[in-house]
Amino acid sequence: MKVQKWALYRLLLKDPTSCAFMLQDCARTRQLNKGKELHAHIITTAKQPSIFVSNHLINMYSKCGGMACALQVFDEMPQRNLVSWTAVISGLSQNGAFQEALRFLEEMRISGWQPSQFALSCAVQACAALGWVQHGKQLHSLILKTGFGSELFVGSNLIDMYSKFGLLVDAQDVFNGMSAKDKVCWTALIDACSKN
């Protein structure tokens, strides 16, 4: 029975979608050791994982707190896409490596990639956590240039950032410039008003 189970497991590892599903499960349940084991089997099966599988590896390692492994996967990728960059920036920010997240955002731009709204939101969170007012304002300018200024997720993070900086007028300007507003945006603005 073990031989049949192992054969099925190896067959699943050859399919990128199955690999992604198994890696997502490891990320969801925070099973770093199981994820590392899967990674080892993926490498023996495919040598160089596809961009799709590599992105899921980065996400899994990030969610499980294994940023060193996530960065190694990223560094070893012969090609990267927008998801690769966003996954690393998000992972760094979520794991408290805020300066690194901002450095990777800059590297991403230098490499010719336009950041996604999610990467920009993570960078805004990093600026807020670091208390970098000037950098946060520059990032806000970049967000406006890229057309993400009225996006709910980005706007909520900008409101929160300006609130943490004690800049209520700027937080209100972001709120007023948003084309649509949800509970998160309203809550962010109310929170900003109550703190300032």
Residue 74 and residue 8 share a domain: yes
Residue 112 and residue 57 share a domain: no
Residue 145 and residue 106 share a domain: yes
Domain boundary among 79, 114, 143: 79
What gap in Å lies between CA 65 and CA 91, rounded to an integer?
8
- How many helices (H) does the chain have, and how many strands (E)? 12, 0
pLDDT at 12: 61
**Which residues constitute the domain of residue 5?**
1-79
What gap in Å lies between CA 141 and CA 134, rounded to an integer?
11
Residue 154 and residue 121 share a domain: yes
What mean pLDDT do residues 103-107 have? 98
Residue 91 and residue 175 share a domain: yes
Domain boundary among 25, 55, 79: 79
The neighbour count for residue 23, using CB atoms within 10 Å, is: 24
Place of tokens 């709204």: 117
Amino acid letter at 189?
Answer: L
pLDDT at 49: 87
Q: How far is CA 46 from CA 24, 38, 43, 72, in A?
A: 19, 12, 5, 17
How many domains does the chain fold into?
Answer: 2
Residue 123 and residue 42 share a domain: no
Residue 99 and residue 65 share a domain: no
Residue 160 and residue 101 share a domain: yes
Residue 119 and residue 66 share a domain: no
Confidence of residue 22 (pLDDT cuts 50, 70, 90): confident
What gap in Å lies between CA 39 and CA 70, rounded to an integer?
11
- 40-89 pLDDT, tens digit per residue, is 888 887 778 899 999 999 999 999 999 999 999 999 999 999 999 999 99
- Provide the CATH number for the domain around residue 131: 1.25.40.10
Of the candidates 58, 71, 52, 2, the one whose C-alpha atom is nearest the C-alpha of residue 26 is: 58
Residue 70 and residue 117 share a domain: no
Domain boundary among 79, 104, 138: 79
Residue 143 and residue 187 share a domain: yes
Residue 105 and residue 68 share a domain: no
